[in-house]
Amino acid sequence: MIDREAQLPIKRQAQLLGISRGTVYYHPEPIPEAELVLMRRIDELHLEHPFAGSRMLRDLLRLQGVEVGRRHVSTLMRRMGIQALYRKPNTSRKHPAHPVFPYALRGMAIERANQVWALDITYIPMARGWVYLVAVLDWHSRRVLAHRVSITMESDFCVEALREAAARWGAPEIVNTDQGSQFSSAEFVAEVQRIGARQSMDGKGCWRDNVFVERLWRSVKYEDVYLKAYDGVSAARQSLAAYFEFYNARRPHQSHDGRTPDMVYFSSLPPMQAAA
């Protein structure tokens, strides 16, 4: 599909094909089975004990009979994009040359759909290897408005998810993210400006600022990812798309008194938008 000899730049070819530029340059390397099993267990422990750093995770693994060194655990955590929450997930690693936007939600009453959207990235284990998932979440209703799966951590898939959400549901007033390099990149910042929204970022190390997305990841992993061993990227995309349809339309939320995200989202839209 990609013609490396063509005059058209590879980046433009990838855009026309609707794929991430990183996909073009990606060369998969086989990961030992034992390493994949260990990475999945680290991910599960991270959800159960989000405050645990590499030392505590090493000790927790040893209590389960898994002998592993702290440096190895730390290396795998970096590869997966996770760290103890008090230090902020590594998927949120800030780029020193990128801008940081002030947190705009402190003290704000969020009472309607499309008032605030939140975006975040998480690691998704598969039977062989892993992918990264980004979701656009409506803060008020907890509805997932768009998502993308990527094999790399470039900003492209985050831009694509935000663009799709805005095209389908209209622009929010505020887009809130962490300080990760994907969200502070020139491409993402430009997309937020293009749709007419204001950009907000969590404070450094303040994982609670985006806690609703953290809860979404827990639901996604325990209710779909860990129940299935995705056998490839296509299977991961199909299964996650089906899960988000269920999550939006049929999964009741305690915080909504048993109503689904769809019910809350559409009932709080302005009449003209809801009709559309």
- What span, in angstroms and rounded, lies between the C-alpha atoms of 215 and 212? 5
Question: What pLDDT, on the 0 to 100 scale, is given for residue 88?
Answer: 41
Chain segment 61-114, per-residue pLDDT in tens: 999 999 999 999 999 988 887 867 654 444 445 545 557 899 888 888 999 999
Statement: 116-275 belongs to CATH 3.30.420.10:
yes
Among residues 271, 255, 250, 267, the alpha carbon closest in space to that of 142 is found at: 255
Mean pLDDT of 235-264: 95
What is the spatial distance between Cα 209 and Cα 29, in angstroms, rounded to a whole number? 36
Structure tokens at 44: 């599960």
Determine what percent of the chain is predicted with pLDDT higher than 70. 79
128: pLDDT confidence band, cut at 50, 70 and 90?
confident
Helix (H) / strand (E) element for 267: namely: helix 261-267
Lowest mean pLDDT among 2-6, 69-73, 116-120, 195-199: 2-6
Find the mean pLDDT for residues 163-184: 94
Question: Which amino acid type is present at position 268?
Answer: S
